[in-house]
Amino acid sequence: MPTNLLRARAKPPAKRDPRERALATAGTDRFVLIRAGTTSVRARLLDTPTADRIWRALPIFSVAQLWGQGEIFFETPLESGRERTAKIIVEPGAIVFSPDRDVIGIPFARTPISRSGELRLWSPSNIWAEALDDVGVFRTVQAGERVEVRRLVRDSARREAR
């Protein structure tokens, strides 16, 4: 398929307006709590346009879906283009947003398309947060369980880390 047709169908790349950049560079760490069923993980947001969009949209409520035995993902009301730093192979603890499906994904083990020793995502995804806790706890989540992503106050994130 010609490249110009593919570009015409693609979402525009994620960009940050000057107000978002000022907020992101204010030196404040941002934390979220991701709860699926009875398990939860704290995560620190990175300095990315996708993280800014997610932060503004919180809280997010959805339903858990599983991809094989290695990733939990859930739909969001957000749209964001693919960032230049999007990756298809990630490290454990990366929290991602897949711009082609508008879902948040949390890979914790090998996915159906992973090769030996890697966590391979469905498609290139924007890494918007890093987990502070072990994402392996999501192994117990069943498809259809309620998922929520909420802001964590900075002091409570520190207190829970102890």
Residues above pLDDT 70, as percent of the chain: 78
Q: How far is Cα 45 from Cα 154, in angstroms, rounded to an integer?
A: 12
What is residue 13's DSSP assignment? P
At residue 4, φ and ψ (nearest 5 deg) are -65, -30
Q: Is 50 helix (H, G, I), strand (E, B) or coil?
A: helix
Domain boundaries, the chain: 30-161
* pLDDT tens-digit map of 105-120: 999 888 878 788 888 8
pLDDT confidence tier of residue 14, bands split at 50, 70 and 90 = low
Between 72 and 28, residue with greater pLDDT: 72
Average pLDDT, the chain: 83
pLDDT tens, position by position, 122-161: 889 999 999 999 999 999 999 999 999 999 976 555 555 5
Please state, in angstroms and as integers, the Cα–Cα distance from residue 71 to each residue in 43, 66, 81, 155, following that order: 16, 6, 21, 29
CATH of 30-161, picked from 3.90.1640.10, 2.40.100.20, 3.40.50.1980, 3.20.20.70, is 2.40.100.20
Instruction: For residue 121, give the H/E element and its range.
Output: strand 119-131
Collapsing DSSP to helix, strand or coil, 40 comes out as strand
